[in-house]
Amino acid sequence: MIKEFKEFIMKGNVLELAIAVILAGAFGLVVKTFTSDVIMPVVGYFIGGVDFADLKIVLKAAAGEDVPEVAILWGKFVNTIINFLIVALVLFFIIKAYNKTQKEKEEAPAPPAGPSQEDLLAEIRDLLKKNN
């Protein structure tokens, strides 16, 4: 059973999937930082110098240190939507580039085909008729 598991894990698809998941997690962190630290400060500057991640609707104010406030953190939600859109855009460009390479492979001209089996048989028949 351990041998079968080792063979399963060492297959190319499983390793490729594991690498893809790890890279996707790292890419998600890069996009999150890019959104939070680069894009949102610019957006915040244009809406009046507000830190966008701090925008919220307070439903119930904090009642001392023991009871936290109840709020809808819509600024963080918008940050998450922007993160998603950036990831989707990057993936769109990756898939588009991949599809372009696949299309070029498909459009490569096939080598000229030789004579068909019927043509060869007809040629042999004609040669045999000549020799008889």
pLDDT band at 72 (very low <50, low <70, confident <90, very high): very high
Q: Are 86 and 35 in contact (CB under 8 A)?
A: yes
Q: Which residues, in sequence order, are bridge partners of residue 71? A: 58
Look at 67-71, 104-108, 119-123 and tell me which has the smallest mean pLDDT.
104-108
Structural domain span for residue 58: 2-131
Residue type, 120: L
State the CATH number of the domain containing residue 105.
Answer: 1.10.1200.120
pLDDT band at 63 (very low <50, low <70, confident <90, very high): confident
Number of domains in the chain: 1
pTM for this prediction: 0.56
